[in-house]
Every structure is written in C-alpha cells, then in structure tokens.
C-alpha cells in the first residue's frame, strides 16, 4: 500500500483480516468491473445463477459440498442468521458462548460477545450464558435440553488469538449431537484459508451444523455467508435479505475463490505462517506466540508497548492489536517469505530499541 505522499507500507493486518488475496488483485478488479458493466443488483426473488455458482465452488473448496449456503452482507449478519436458524430448528432460545468471544455488533451477535461495554440494554435481553473456553466441566454444569446453540470462533481473534483445543471442539460436537443442540462455528476471522485449512475447525475433524463466514470472503467487498448442515430443513423466507448475494457480491466472492485456488494460497498461508511463528518463538523478549497459518498473536511485555507504533511509523508495517499487549498479524494469504522477513527484521530491531 502507498500513502498520499507515495510512501510504501507493508500491510500485515488487512483491515481486520479482510484482505485475503491482496489489495487490488488484478483478477478481482477485472471481474468486478466487468460485472458492474452488466448488472450490479436485482432482487433475490429472481434467481441469480452466480449465487449457485458460488455455493457450488465454495462447497467444493471448503469441503462442505452437501451444505446449503445462505448469503448476507457482514459477519454480524451471518451470526444473527445462524442463531435464528438454530432457534427455529430447535424451538429453543438459550445460547452458550465463550469468554473473550467476539461475534459482531447487531442485537444477537453483540449479546453473545463477551464485552459488556458494547452491549446496550436493548441487546441484553437475549438468553446467553458465557463459560471459559476449553473447560469441559464448566460446560457440563450448564448444558441441558434448553440450549438451542453453542457458538465458538474457529480461533478467537479479537480475544487475542486464543485457540480452542481440538479435543474441546470434538467434545462440543459430541455434546450438541447428543442433545439436539446446534453447534455454530464462527469462522468470520479464522476462515477462508487463513489458518492453512479452509476453516480453522477442520484441524479438529468436526463438522458443525452451522458455519459463519465474512471478512476474507469478499476481499473488501461486503459479503457474508452461513453454511447450513443438510439436515437443517429450511423453508422459503426462513432467512432472507435484500442485498445478500447480489451480483457484485457473488462475483467478488467467486473471484476470491478463483485466486485462492489458482495461487495455492491456503498452502502458502500455512507455510509462511509456520515460518513466522517459528522465528518469533526464538525471540527471548516475546512472552508467547499463538496461532495457525497467517492468524498470529504475539504477546509482549508491558515495557514494549511501543513496538506496534514503531513498526508502523518507523518501518511502515501495519499490524493489529488485542488488549492488553498482543500484536495481531492477519495479512493477505499471498504474503511472501521476503515480506515475512521484512517484518521479522523490523520486529527484532524494535524489540531491542
Ligand atoms: C470472529 C468474528 N465474528 C464476527 C465478526 C463481526 O463481523 P462484521 O464486523 O463483518 O459484522 C467479527 C469482526 O471482527 C469477528 O472477528
């Protein structure tokens, strides 16, 4: 990226994990421009063949060909619809969410987000219980036949790149299956190839009932989606939206998948991410490194709170943060080893400054 003075920046944050294939990728720009010349939008009451093409391609690349796809416009909206579907299917309303979770800012999504500061009294009316992640005992204490859904991030992003144990995800899937509860995997930040698998939960070998996605799906064009297990019988109008899956959104999402496939970006995310994690682990100033692929959190001591600012203002490298002092890396999946080395060199220098 370049600023208004022509200064060059390396973007390792992608505007909250949104830029999956790189800014202004030629194929993406051309696909969207061509579509804009044809038709940008028409109502969802008229069949849009691009949505079908997207559902088929997404199903095939993600390993969920048998799931249905509902298209919407943002992450919060995807979660809102997944919660709604779970409540329709089960006839229940109580939801289990996890401490440090972030699921969005609309009414239901913010109610299952563990941050009272952004929950208004209007949002607080939902029936939600928060428990610590990876704590089977805490889960067993409150899990019963009143629970409509359990929602968990593939990897917690805003919470500071916190990973659920594979065994915990398998436990949740088992418990939900036994109880007629729906398991929702929020892959809005951790999905779309970022972790080296299409969805982060695929490391645990589970198949949740509902999977939500957005961010990297449109590389900046607002697109969100929910994958629904084939056992979920939807009826016309159960979920709906005016803008969701419009022609431009569908083309944006399709061209992202084209590039991910053609440029082998999932394997690249895994290789470059593993390299960064192993190099950062060697640095003695670093308290902890967590993550998978190109979803990385680096905990620094309080004395080094300046590192992120120095990276930006001295070295022109964008990174993200999580409180209290975690650097969050969520770059494009096309990050090269040479670019990773630019970061590693600047980071090491700033740790010692
Ligand atoms: C895991 C997760 N879920 C949901 C959301 C909400 O997405 P949006 O901002 O597109 O509504 C976010 C956004 O940061 C997120 O990280």
3 state DSSP class of 253: helix
Domain end among 231, 262, 293: 262
Domain count, the chain: 2
Q: Average per-residue pLDDT in the chain?
A: 97
Instruction: Work out which ligand 1 atom sits closest to the CA atom of 153.
Output: 1
Give CA–CA dist 298/86, Å, rounded.
35
Is the C-beta atom of 186 inside 6 A of ligand 1? yes
Do 97 and 139 lie in one domain? The reply is yes
CA distances from residue 93 to 32, 49, 156, 182, 295 in whole angstroms, order as listed: 40, 35, 23, 11, 32
Domain that holds residue 299: 10-21+264-351
Number of CB atoms found within 10 A of residue 174's CB? 12
Do 137 and 252 lie in one domain? The reply is yes
Name the DSSP class of 200.
Answer: G
How much is the pLDDT for 6? 95
How much is the pLDDT for 49? 97
Q: Give me the CATH number covering residue 287.
A: 3.90.1150.10
How much is the pLDDT for 103? 98
Residue 353, pLDDT above cutoff 90: no
Q: Classify residue 1: in a domain, yes or no.
A: no
**Ligand 1 centre distance from Cα of residue 221 (Å):** 14
Q: Classify residue 86: in a domain, yes or no.
A: yes
Do 217 and 324 lie in one domain? The reply is no
Q: Give me the CATH number covering residue 188.
A: 3.40.640.10
**Ligand 1 centre distance from Cα of residue 7 (Å):** 30
Do 241 and 272 lie in one domain? The reply is no
Are 225 and 213 spatial neighbours (Cβ–Cβ below 8 Å)? Answer: yes
DSSP H helical ranges for the chain: 14-17, 26-38, 49-62, 75-90, 107-111, 136-142, 166-179, 247-262, 265-281, 307-313, 337-352
How many percent of the chain have pLDDT more than 90? 98
pLDDT tens per residue across span 248-281? 999 999 999 999 999 999 999 999 999 999 999 9
pLDDT tens per residue across span 305-321? 999 999 999 999 999 99
**Ligand 1 centre distance from Cα of residue 212 (Å):** 10
Q: What is the largest CA-CA distance in the chain?
A: 61
Do 207 and 246 lie in one domain? The reply is yes
Q: Classify residue 222: in a domain, yes or no.
A: yes
Domain end among 211, 240, 262: 262
**Ligand 1 centre distance from Cα of residue 169 (Å):** 20
pLDDT tens per residue across span 68-113? 999 999 999 999 999 999 999 999 999 999 999 999 999 999 999 9
DSSP-assigned letters across all residues of 59-115: HHHHT-TTSEEEEESSHHHHHHHHHHHHHHHHS--EEEEETT----SSHHHHHTSS-
Do 144 and 154 lie in one domain? The reply is yes
How much is the pLDDT for 186? 99
Do 184 and 275 lie in one domain? The reply is no
Is the C-beta atom of 100 inside 6 A of ligand 1? no
Residue 137, pLDDT above cutoff 90: yes
Q: Classify residue 3: in a domain, yes or no.
A: no
**Ligand 1 centre distance from Cα of residue 79 (Å):** 9
Q: Classify residue 328: in a domain, yes or no.
A: yes
Do 218 and 85 lie in one domain? The reply is yes
Provide the whole-model pTM: 0.98
Closest residue (by CA) to atom 13 of ligand 1?
A: 104
Which has the higher per-residue pLDDT, 244 or 236?
244
Choosing from 75, 106, 107, 224 the residue with most ligand 1 atoms within 8 A of its CB, the one to mutate for a pocket test is 75
Domain end among 210, 233, 262: 262
Angle at 125 between CA 120 and CA 129, to 5 degrees: 100
Name the DSSP class of 13.
Answer: S
How much is the pLDDT for 286? 98
Q: Classify residue 211: in a domain, yes or no.
A: yes
Q: Is 259 left (phi over 0), alpha (psi -120 to 50) or beta?
A: alpha
pLDDT tens per residue across span 188-229? 999 999 999 999 999 999 999 999 999 999 999 999 999 999
Is the C-beta atom of 106 inside 6 A of ligand 1? no
Q: Classify residue 218: in a domain, yes or no.
A: yes
How much is the pLDDT for 155? 98
Do 251 and 334 lie in one domain? The reply is no
Do 80 and 211 lie in one domain? The reply is yes
Do 223 and 287 lie in one domain? The reply is no
**Ligand 1 centre distance from Cα of residue 6 (Å):** 31
How much is the pLDDT for 236? 86
Do 320 and 216 lie in one domain? The reply is no
Q: Classify residue 4: in a domain, yes or no.
A: no
Is the C-beta atom of 162 inside 6 A of ligand 1? no
């Amino acid at each position: 990226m370049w600023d208004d003075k022509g200064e060059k920046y390396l973007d390792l944050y992608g505007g909250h994990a949104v830029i999956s294939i790189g800014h202004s990728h030629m194929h993406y720009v051309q696909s969207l421009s061509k579509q804009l010349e044809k038709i940008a939008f028409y109502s969802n009451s008229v069949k849009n063949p691009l949505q079908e093409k997207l559902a088929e391609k997404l199903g095939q690349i993600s390993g969920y060909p048998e799931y249905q796809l509902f298209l919407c416009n943002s992450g919060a909206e995807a979660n809102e619809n997944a919660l709604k579907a779970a409540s329709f299917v089960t006839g229940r309303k109580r939801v289990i969410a996890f401490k440090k979770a972030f699921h969005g800012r609309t009414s239901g999504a913010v109610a299952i987000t563990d941050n009272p500061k952004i929950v208004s009294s209007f949002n607080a009316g939902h029936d939600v219980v928060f428990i610590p992640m990876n704590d089977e005992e805490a889960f067993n204490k409150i899990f019963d036949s009143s629970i409509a859904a359990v929602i968990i991030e593939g990897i917690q992003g805003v919470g500071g790149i916190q990973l659920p144990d594979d065994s915990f995800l398998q436990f949740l899937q088992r418990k939900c299956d036994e109880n007629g509860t729906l398991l929702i995997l929020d892959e809005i930040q951790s999905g779309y190839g970022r972790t080296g698998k299409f969805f982060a939960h695929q490391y645990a070998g589970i198949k949740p009932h509902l999977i939500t996605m957005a961010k990297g799906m449109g590389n900046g064009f607002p697109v969100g989606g929910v994958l629904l297990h084939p056992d979920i019988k939807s009826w016309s109008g159960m979920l709906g939206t005016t803008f969701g899956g419009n022609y431009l959104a569908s083309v944006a999402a399709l061209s992202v998948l084209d590039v991910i496939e053609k440029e082998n970006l999932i394997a690249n995310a895994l290789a470059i991410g593993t390299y960064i994690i192993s190099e950062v682990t060697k640095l003695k100033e670093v308290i902890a490194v967590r993550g998978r692929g190109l979803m990385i959190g680096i905990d620094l001591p309080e004395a080094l709170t300046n590192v992120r600012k120095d990276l930006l203002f001295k070295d022109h490298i964008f990174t993200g943060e999580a409180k209290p002092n975690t650097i969050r890396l969520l770059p494009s999946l096309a990050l090269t080893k040479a670019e990773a080395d630019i970061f590693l060199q600047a980071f090491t220098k700033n740790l010692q400054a």
